[in-house]
Amino acid sequence: MNMALGKRGEDVACEWLEREGLVVLSRNWRCKEGELDIVATDGTELVVCEVKCRSGTDRGSPLEAVTPEKLDRIRRLAMRWLSDYRVGWVRIRFDVIAVEWPPDGPVSLRHVRGV
């Protein structure tokens, strides 16, 4: 994937979450096991968002890229994030934000909550 497209997709996703009233706590948080795209909170629960951005459909829809294996890894990384930031018990929601940004059209965003 084009890294610039991915960053623009994450920027759009963060703006969307903030308009929805969430506070972004971390972006592109990394550890040796991987990366979390966005960690946010709505004030009652932690929201871990995987952002998938595509410029076309030749590689399938952005949502198709989030496999059960990918979700398992995101869950493990979220536990690591909680440990690193010394966060106690908190409800966690896992979301996927699919951004489609065709070269000749407007951007579209789909936010799937609680995957």
Cα distance between residue 8 and residue 106, in whole Å: 13
| Structure tokens belonging to residue 45 | 């629960």
CA 53 to chain centre: 10
The domain locations on the chain are 3-112
| Ordered per-residue pLDDT tens for the chain, 115 residues | 467 777 888 999 999 999 999 999 999 999 999 999 999 999 999 999 999 988 876 666 777 778 889 999 999 999 999 999 998 888 999 999 999 888 787 888 999 998 8
Predicted structure pTM score: 0.88
What is the Cα–Cα distance from 30 to 115, expressed in whole angstroms?
Answer: 21
The three-state secondary structure class of 98 is strand
Topology of domain 3-112 in CATH is Trna Endonuclease; Chain: A, domain 1 (3.40.1350)
pLDDT (0 to 100) of residue 26: 96
Cβ burial, residue 70 (10 Å; 0-12/13-18/19+):
middle
